[in-house]
Amino acid sequence: MSTFAPLSVAFICTHNACRSQMAQALAHALAPNEIDACSAGTHPARAVNPDAVRLLQQRGVDTSALAPKPLEEIPPVDMVVTMGCGVQCPTLLARWHEDWGLEDPTGGQDQQFVAVMDQIKMKIEYLRRRVIAGCFDEVRLAANLKTLGDPNRLRIIAMLSHSDELCACKLLEELDISQPTLSHHMAALRDMGLVSARKDGRWMRYSLDKELLGTIGACLGR
């Protein structure tokens, strides 16, 4: 398990009633260990958009903590994300700022809400990968690179990159190492989130998160 602190993120829009609330709820659902999410509005509404709440709940997303808030209630954060409404947040200081350029579905049909929700989900997942990769934390990035520095682990990654999934038996055969040594290497790669595993009979089968591997490379190329 990771010992690194999550990235604190404030999602901001004008009314804090729809897009920013969906982003907060989805971040809590999809990346609870990587993103510490909150939200607020420059001119907060009286209530969260009921269609947003209903559609989030249909997806099994907890909405119990959602309520419009003014900017003044936002704690210090690492990142401010505006949702695409041209809102300015001069009072919110953060090391990183992003604008996600999302259309406001308020007043639209369910499919418009779902389309925006899907966009937010993709952006949350990408933000989560960047957090895990170490794009916002040089210490975490250095730890990832140290984990990847072992020659056998590099060979494991190379083998997994050419397959959707590999049996531990195949890795043992190619690497000519003991099973405890392989387990040690795979535990390190799983701890950093780069490899996932499932048991198949007496053997473990491993797969590589190729998108995360690419994100680590992108962090290095900044």
CATH code of the domain covering residue 110: 3.40.50.2300
Active site residues: 13, 85, 89
pTM of the model as a whole: 0.91
- Same domain (yes/no): 150, 89: no
Question: C-alpha distances in angstroms, 141 versus 138, 187, 220?
Answer: 5, 18, 9
- Of the residues 133, 162, 188, the one at which a domain ends: 133
Furthest C-alpha separation in the chain: 64
The alpha carbons of the chain give a radius of gyration, in whole angstroms, of 20
Between CA 131 and CA 31 the distance in angstroms is 10
Domains held by the chain: number: 2
- Same domain (yes/no): 37, 82: yes
- Of the residues 133, 165, 183, the one at which a domain ends: 133
- Same domain (yes/no): 129, 154: no
Buried b (16+ CB within 10 A) or exposed e, 40-56: bbbebbeebbebbbebb
Contact 52, 24 (CB under 8 A): no
Q: Which domain holds residue 193?
A: 138-220
- Same domain (yes/no): 22, 85: yes
In tens digits, what is the pLDDT along the chain, a chain of 222 residues?
A: 568 999 999 999 999 999 999 999 999 999 999 999 999 999 999 999 999 999 999 999 999 999 999 999 999 999 999 998 776 666 678 999 999 999 999 999 999 999 999 999 999 999 999 999 999 999 999 999 999 999 999 999 999 999 999 999 999 999 999 999 999 999 999 999 999 999 999 999 999 999 999 999 999 886
